[in-house]
Amino acid sequence: MAEPEVRKIIHVDMDAFYASVEQRDDPSLRGQPVAVGGRQRGVVMAASYEARKFGVRSAMASVTAKRLCPDLVFVKPRFDVYKEVSRQIREIFLEYTPLVEPLSLDEAYLDVTTNLKNIPLASDIAREVRARIFDVTGLTASAGVSYNKFLAKLASDYRKPNNQTVIPPEKGPAFVESLDVGRFHGVGPKTAEKMKRLGIHTGADLKAQSLEFLQQYFGSSGAYYHAIARGRDERRVVPDRPRKSVGSETTFMEDLGKPQEIVDGVLSVLDDVWGYCERTGIAGRTVTVKVKYADFQIITRSRTLPQPVNSRSELEQTSVELVRQIFPLEKRVRLLGVSLSNMGPRENAPPPEPQLTLGL
């Protein structure tokens, strides 16, 4: 029986992407601790490496970040710019392989087992891709190269920024054993805490557990944890993965307390949602409005339509009708969001833009 083919997977991850774009475009920000996101309100969306030295991290409350780094410079996000740069990067990926799976604006998996340039070593492809990204965008990227997605993603984070790490098959299991479980992709903070309460601190500790034990404590995820502890991951790189939902939300600088402010707030987040529908020719049947009150209580209101939303006006009307269900207001509102799910093609939709833009 023939041995199964060893795949060559690259995970490319841009270095502090949003913050690096801002530093590239504004020379006065270079060398400064920069946070992309809200100032008095909201959270840090991205932090430059200068800010990270002070402990500033993405998803951190802005007030906490400012306390850690008093000289932190806040910059308003420019998603149109980030999306355009991301499109340039995707074009570079596609010069090497059609098997590109975007995870977000700033990272993607590439399967280069066979590649369009017939370059034998995946490490050489990763090095060339990173150089091309820098030439085209002026930004640096890190890369991980391995025989599966799990290890490639681990490797890309191992020597950041502006570097790459290769984990060959013979070193994969040992590499996993040496790491803290909190660094594993697919093991979130709460799961990592639970593992540590069970005495599982490292990959070696995880490997020592039986499949039955992991399934008992972690349910359907137990089989995945059992496999990655041994350096195994059978997931393929899937280009243009269909989205199960699309949404947008915003945290306001000041809490909203008037009905018209709430309606205007809902309308302000619709452009990103409908923009995705226009680019792809698909939409969703279920419209959901999310409301976070000033006391951080979250409620949602949803409606499922007979057909996918077919126009921005239909999305607007449904969203406004849903949010009006919370009137009269009992307390002020901090955040509003709108999402679509139960995705499917829109009626009479124009042809979608090239699949290159998906996942941006």
Q: Which residue numbers are catalytic?
A: 107
* Residue 250 β-bridge partners: 336
Q: Distance between CA atoms of 134 and 140, rounded to whole angstroms?
A: 6
Residues forming a β-bridge with 31:
none
Structure tokens at 294: 């000033």
- Helices 122-137 + 79-94 axis angle, to 10: 140
Helix or strand or coil: residue 318? helix
- DSSP letters, 322-359, are HHGGGPSPSS-EEEEEEEEEEEEEPTTPPPPPPGGGTT
**DSSP β-bridge partners for residue 73:** 34
- Give the ranges where the chain is alpha helix by DSSP (H): 17-25, 49-52, 62-68, 79-94, 122-137, 149-156, 172-177, 189-197, 203-207, 211-218, 222-228, 259-268, 270-280, 312-323
Select from 108, 156, 110, 107 the least CA-distant residue to 9: 110
Grouping H, G, I as helix, E, B as strand and the rest as coil, residue 221 is: helix
CA-based angle 355:135:121, to the nearest 5? 75
CB 248 within 8 A of CB 272: yes
| CB-based contact 69:48 (threshold 8 Å) | no
232 phi and psi angles, rounded to 5 deg: -110, 140
